[in-house]
């Protein structure tokens, strides 16, 4: 039981009559880069926000790092990092000021905080941009600083919601190199994306459609089981099977 990073069972979120997330169940082991796939509006962000304790589920249960998402959602927070789809650091503060702020909130101070920021600036090659207001930076750099803020406190799991949205291919590739390094160091990644090439970097993926999880598995096995050439085709074939009228 405690070996799972994320367990969800029958998780639902309804906004009025609309079920944004409709009874999804999932188990994610430690040591995985888990890809949470789906088209826009499939319910990925809603699901992640429930796992991070930002949104109260309508029904269903789950644990993150062993903590109950319905009752112990505040206990989840010290051990997770979250990078939202929309850039959500303070645009009028510099990257360093943002990191200092978040570091202190997570309980880092003084030399330890300074050291950790220096380590991240070095590791993510941020030195050129770290002392400029983040609002004025190119998207790719902003996202790197946002990642730095999300992993500042060395969380066990990092939830990344479309971390490479609006970023050019070179930046995306570099960003994934950083994610791989993180995973190698033992951080668990839970990533949403709709880039299929990125999905192939994941150890396991789930595909979500209209609030439901359609399939879960290793990318290569999913492709093989359908007898198709690549993940892109597999994704399209799976989604069209579901129909568009629900």
Partner 1 sequence: MRHMWTVLALVTKEFRQVFRDRNMLRLIFLMPFLQLVILGYAVDTDVRRIHTAVYDFDRSRLSREFVRSMSAGDYFLMSTSDRSVLDLDENFQTNRFNAALVIPRDFGRNLENGNLAPASLIVDGSNANSAGIAMGYAGMIAAQFNRQAAGLAPSISIRQKLLYNSEAESVYYMVPGIVAVLLTMITVMLTSMAIVREREMGTLEQVMVTPISTPAFILGKTIPFAVLGFVEMSLALAVGILWFGIPFAGSWPLLYGLSLVYLFTTLGMGIFVSTITSTQQQAMFFAWFFIIFAIMTSGFFAPIENMPPVVQHMTYANPLRFFMRIVRGIMMKGAGVNTLYRDIAAMVLYSAAIFSLALMRFSKRHR
CB atoms within 10 A of CB 232: 15
Q: How far is the CB of 105 from partner 1 (least distance, A)?
A: 5
Strands 67-68 and 59-64: antiparallel
Q: How far is the CB of 134 from partner 1 (least distance, A)?
A: 11
Provide the b/e sequence for 152-168 (b: ≥16 CB within 10 Å): bbebbbbbbbbbbbebe
Q: At what angle do helices 95-105 and 139-151 cross, to 10 degrees?
A: 20
Backbone angles phi, psi at 131, to 5 degrees: -105, 25
| CA 54 to chain CA mean position, Å | 14
Nearer to partner 1, 84 or 234 (CB): 84
H-helix or E-strand spanning residue 21: strand 18-29
**Sign, CA torsion 135/136/139/142:** negative
Q: How far is the CB of 199 from partner 1 (least distance, A)?
A: 24
Nearer to partner 1, 13 or 210 (CB): 13
Nearer to partner 1, 67 or 176 (CB): 67
- Pick from 162, 179, 175, 172: which is nearest to 85 by CA? 162
Q: How far is the CB of 97 from partner 1 (least distance, A)?
A: 7
Nearer to partner 1, 191 or 205 (CB): 191
Distance separating alpha carbons of residues 196 and 219, to the nearest angstrom: 10
Site residues (CB under 8 A) for partner 1?
Answer: 49, 52-56, 73-74, 77-78, 80, 82, 84, 86-93, 97, 100-102, 104-107, 109, 149
Nearer to partner 1, 49 or 209 (CB): 49
Nearer to partner 1, 162 or 231 (CB): 162
DSSP 8-state symbol, 103? H
Q: How far is the CB of 132 from partner 1 (least distance, A)?
A: 13
């Amino acid at each position: 039981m405690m070996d799972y990073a994320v367990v969800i069972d029958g998780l639902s979120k309804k906004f009025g009559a609309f079920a944004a997330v409709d009874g999804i169940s999932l188990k994610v082991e430690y040591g995985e880069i888990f890809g949470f796939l789906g088209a826009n509006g499939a319910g990925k962000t809603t699901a992640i926000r429930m796992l991070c304790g930002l949104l109260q589920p309508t029904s269903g249960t789950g644990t993150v790092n062993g903590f109950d998402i319905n009752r112990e959602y505040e206990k989840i927070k010290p051990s997770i990092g979250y990078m939202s789809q929309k850039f959500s650091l303070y645009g009028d503060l510099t990257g360093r000021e943002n990191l200092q702020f978040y570091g202190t909130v997570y309980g880092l101070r003084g030399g330890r905080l300074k050291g950790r920021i220096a380590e991240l600036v070095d590791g993510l090659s941020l030195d050129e941009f770290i002392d400029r207001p983040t609002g004025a930076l190119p998207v790719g750099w902003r996202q790197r600083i946002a990642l730095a803020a999300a992993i500042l406190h060395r969380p066990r799991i990092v939830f990344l919601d479309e971390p490479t949205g609006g970023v050019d291919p070179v930046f995306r590739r570099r960003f994934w190199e950083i994610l791989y390094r993180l995973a190698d160091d033992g951080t668990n990644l839970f990533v949403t994306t709709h880039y299929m090439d990125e999905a192939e970097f994941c150890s396991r993926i789930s595909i979500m459609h209209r609030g439901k999880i359609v399939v879960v598995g290793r990318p290569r096995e999913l492709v093989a089981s359908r007898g198709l050439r690549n993940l892109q085709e597999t994704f399209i074939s799976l989604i069209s099977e579901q129909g568009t009228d629900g």
